[in-house]
Amino acid sequence: MKRILLQQRGRILKMTTLALGTSMSSAENLLAKWMSLLPDEKRECVASLKPAWIDRWTNDWMQFAYGHQRPPEITVGGKPWTTWLILGGRGSGKTRAGAEWVRHIALKNKAARIALIGETEHDVREVMIEGVSGLLHVHARDERPLWIPSRRRLEWPNGAGAQAFSAEDPESLRGPQFSAAWADEIAKWRHAEATFDMLQFGLRLGVQPRQVVTTTPRPIALLKRLIADPATVLARAGTRENKWHLSPAFIDTVFARYGGTRTGRQELDGEIIEQRADALWSRAQIESCRVKAAPPLTRIVVAVDPPASSTKRADARGLVAAGRAENGMFDRRRHRVRAFAGRLGAEGDRAVAAAGGGRAHRGGQSGRRHGARGSRGGR
């Protein structure tokens, strides 16, 4: 029995030497040899490897990546892409794909300047940089960048650098310039439009500045515009596509509880859910009531739902303007006012919002002034 085990061990070590000594440059050959081993032989093989070989193998990302995690070459139209948009369910491997793309950019280009943007500074650090699938964990030991928390910077040994930003402060992106960017969970950014706009102005280094956007989708205007942009390459993935790297108990629990529901379709399948099933009015109904200009109005009423504070975390203001037309019909429009958050006092915000709504509706009356009365109340 002992002699048989020694013979088996000799076979394993011989295959290990063959695989790692002559085929390390070919991920496909290495994977084929690995798959030909029995389970016990695989364990024996790994136990016999040197740390440097293990690092080299486990960091060969392309042999493990799923289709939605592989960077695209060109757009659907055959042109170079600007945005790689990955929409996926929870645990579908979005973060790992983003981190590996940044790793590739940094190691390939020593002059790379990369922006890392998350919902908050805490999210950038805990998920994108120090997380299980973050940047510090996807690098081999000799390639790993230095994280400098006080400067919110990552510095690679070859000279490439990345800087962390919070979507809570869009103005922090004014000034710096980048050759690449990774934006994570953009669908839940509080100031998504403003932050993304500032990022676009900063992507101006190199021949082809690019960005990867990883997020669980929500029906926000920014995502819809990115999907429709011909310079965007869209990748989709559900939670189950990465199930081999997730707890079986997690898969069983969440799909038993949320599978087939509105929440499950968004959070697990990565679908954009346009509206709630229990909504009083559908989006189609609202869109069908739109007009290019308000008719002449005999009375205008503006209602404002103000937030409790004017801090950065304050809720958006709700503004509804309703007008009675000369024929007795009502014209009503709903606005969400964000522009004045944190700049004016709560009383000043309400006054400006109400006045703006009244002017907007009177502006559609071709210069005619009516005896409009405005009132501010609750909803």
Domain membership flag for residue 371: no
* pLDDT of the residue at 373: 38
In a shared domain, residues 44 and 185: no
CATH of the domain at 105: 3.40.50.300
Domain membership flag for residue 278: no
* pLDDT of the residue at 108: 94
Which tops the pLDDT comparison, 76 or 179? 179
Average pLDDT on 123-128 reads: 96
Which tops the pLDDT comparison, 353 or 204? 204
In a shared domain, residues 105 and 191: yes
- Does 77 score more than 50 pLDDT? yes
**Number of compact structural domains in the chain:** 3
Q: Rounded to an integer, what distance in angstroms lies between the CA atom of residue 154 and that of residue 139?
A: 13
In a shared domain, residues 142 and 182: yes
Q: Rounded to an integer, what distance in angstroms lies between the CA atom of residue 304 and that of residue 358?
A: 12
Domain membership flag for residue 348: yes
- Does 154 score more than 80 pLDDT? yes
In a shared domain, residues 189 and 213: yes
The three-state secondary structure class of 272 is: coil
Q: Rounded to an integer, what distance in angstroms lies between the CA atom of residue 320 and that of residue 340?
A: 17
- Does 151 score more than 90 pLDDT? yes
In a shared domain, residues 236 and 361: no
Burial of 70 by CB count in 10 Å (0-12 exposed, 13-18 middle, 19+ buried)? middle
* pLDDT of the residue at 127: 96
Q: Rounded to an integer, what distance in angstroms lies between the CA atom of residue 59 and that of residue 140?
A: 6
Average pLDDT on 294-302 reads: 80
* pLDDT of the residue at 217: 92
In a shared domain, residues 47 and 165: no
* pLDDT of the residue at 342: 36
- The answer to which of 6-10, 117-121, 282-286, 356-360 has the lowest mean pLDDT is 6-10
Domain membership flag for residue 335: yes
* pLDDT of the residue at 61: 81
In a shared domain, residues 146 and 54: no
Span 232-243, pLDDT tens digits: 999 999 999 998
Q: How many Cα atoms are found within 13 Å in the side-chain-facing hemisphere of 18? A: 13
Q: Rounded to an integer, what distance in angstroms lies between the CA atom of residue 321 and that of residue 28?
A: 64
In a shared domain, residues 260 and 152: yes
Which tops the pLDDT comparison, 287 or 83? 83
* pLDDT of the residue at 297: 79
Report the relative pairing of strands 210-215 and 232-237 from DSSP bridges: unpaired
In a shared domain, residues 235 and 320: no
- For residues 114-135, one letter each, b for 16 or more C-beta atoms within 10 angstroms of the residue's C-beta and e for the rest, the string is bbbbbbebebbbebbbebebbb
Tokens 């898969």 label which residue?
251
Nearest Cα neighbor of 85 from 206, 186, 156 is 186
- The answer to which of 32-36, 151-155, 374-378 has the lowest mean pLDDT is 374-378
Cβ distance 317 to 336 under 8 Å?
yes
* pLDDT of the residue at 119: 95
pTM for this entry: 0.66
Using only C-alpha atoms, what is the Rg of the chain?
27
Average pLDDT on 327-345 reads: 44
Domain membership flag for residue 105: yes
Span 34-63, pLDDT tens digits: 778 887 887 888 788 787 777 777 667 877
Q: Which helix (H) or strand (E) holds 83?
A: strand 83-88
Task: Look up the domain containing 323 and give its range.
Answer: 291-365
Average pLDDT over the chain reads: 79
Tokens of 286: 């609202």
In a shared domain, residues 296 and 353: yes
Average pLDDT on 193-204 reads: 96
* Torsional class of 47: left (φ above 0), alpha (ψ -120 to 50), beta (otherwise): alpha
In a shared domain, residues 40 and 175: no
Q: Rounded to an integer, what distance in angstroms lies between the CA atom of residue 76 and that of residue 226?
A: 14
Domain membership flag for residue 285: no
Q: Rounded to an integer, what distance in angstroms lies between the CA atom of residue 34 and that of residue 37?
A: 6
Nearest Cα neighbor of 241 from 72, 66, 101 is 66
Q: To the nearest whole percent, how much of the chain has pLDDT over 70?
A: 74
According to DSSP H, which parts of the chain are helical? Answer: 2-22, 27-35, 39-48, 51-58, 94-108, 121-123, 192-202, 221-228, 248-258, 262-267, 283-288, 346-362
Enumerate helices (H) and strands (E) in the chain, giving the number of each: 12, 11
* pLDDT of the residue at 329: 59
Tokens of 196: 């993304």
In a shared domain, residues 249 and 296: no
Torsion sign, CA atoms 260, 254, 244, 63: positive
Domain membership flag for residue 375: no
